[in-house]
Amino acid sequence: WEIPALHCALYGFCECGFRPDVAAMECDLARNVFGQNLAHKLLVKAMKEFLDNDSPSKPLVLSFHGWSGTGKTFVSSLIIKHLYEEGSQSHFVHHFSPILHFPHTQNIKHYKEDLRRWIQGNLTACGRSVFVFEEMDKMHPGMIDTIASFLGSSWVVYGSNYRKAIFIFISNAGGEDINEIALDYWRHRKDRDEIQLQQIESAISKAVSSNPKHGFWQSQIIDQKLIDVIVPFLPLRPHHVRLCIENEMLQQGLALNETLVNKVADSIVYFPEKEKVFSLTGCKTIASRLSYYV
């Protein structure tokens, strides 16, 4: 046994500050995330099921997809905030970005080995670790397969339960298809909350499998169906943008001011050009725009 695993087994200290509060998570998501009812429902259900099970059969693997600025990174941070005593400051939360951590194609072999060791070492130290992989569409294809064995049910080491980990993959893949589906619903005056997950899932799968630059391209993770939940993020409507602006004003300690909200909202580009249905940048640039107009 590795020392931390033995320590865990003997003293029951494996949970590493893991204090999930799904009710608070649900409340935070409902109050602060706009226009993502489908993602909200899927995530709360997945979290409840996974966390209620003391001995899950595999780690929870989530894949977030959607257009830029729709809340993928934001939601991942809200989830993490309610999982650990120390929230996102927890030492058991690990973020990876291909541009930052795996920038050079010629070093892939080393990156793969380092990543595998890093995951294994951290899972040994804490089975309740969370790993977030950002910008999966910029990850070298083949790279992520090095961790495929950690995502299934077969990888077990005495004294530590690796199946309690959570993996979150984030990418824009399928974003355009999700937007098309949402636009189609809007044009047919159908409620976007009625969008069927199956319809979106197949569009995302096609987008990933047809993009040889995506980290999941021809990946074992897809072939072996290791992703538990595909979480789509819909494009944001102008009224969602206004809610983001108001939220940002409150956070910056500014009094709500309709004129200022209008100025910021009007500065955003909406698409399609003629109908102006969705924000091109979601809520991503709100904070900086607000500072500009204050």
Ligand X SMILES: Nc1ncnc2c1ncn2[C@@H]1O[C@H](COP(=O)(O)OP(=O)(O)OP(=O)(O)O)[C@@H](O)[C@H]1O
First to last CA, the chain: 58
At 151, give phi and psi (nearest 5°).
Answer: -90, -10
In the complex with ligand X, the residue whose CB is nearer, 61 or 236, is 236
To the nearest whole angstrom, how small is the minimum distance from the Cβ of residue 1 to ligand X?
39
Q: By rule CB under 6 A, what string of x and - marks binding of each residue 41-80 to ligand X?
A: -------------------------x-xxxxxxx------
In the complex with ligand X, the residue whose CB is nearer, 32 or 120, is 32
Show contacts with ligand X in window 166-195 (CB under 6 A). 172
Show contacts with ligand X in window 215-254 (CB under 6 A). 233, 236, 244
In the complex with ligand X, the residue whose CB is nearer, 163 or 284, is 284
Reading the block at residue 238, the tokens are: 């102008």
Q: By rule CB under 6 A, what string of x and - marks binding of each residue 248-287 to ligand X?
A: ----------------------------------xxx---
Show contacts with ligand X in window 13-32 (CB under 6 A). 32
Residue nearest to ligand X (CB): 71
**What residues are designated binding site for ATP?**
66-73
- Give all strands (DSSP E) within 32-189, no chain letters: 60-66, 93-96, 130-133, 166-171
In the complex with ligand X, the residue whose CB is nearer, 14 or 39, is 39
Helix (H) or strand (E) holding 221: helix 220-223
In sequence order, which residues have a C-beta less than 8 Å from that of residue 278 and are 6 or more positions away? 67, 179, 182, 183, 235, 236, 237, 270, 271
Sign of the alpha-carbon torsion through 105, 110, 115, 116: positive
Q: How many angstroms separate the CA atoms of 35 and 241, rounded?
A: 9
Given the rule CB under 6 A, which residues bind ligand X? Answer: 32-36, 66, 68-74, 172, 233, 236, 244, 282-284
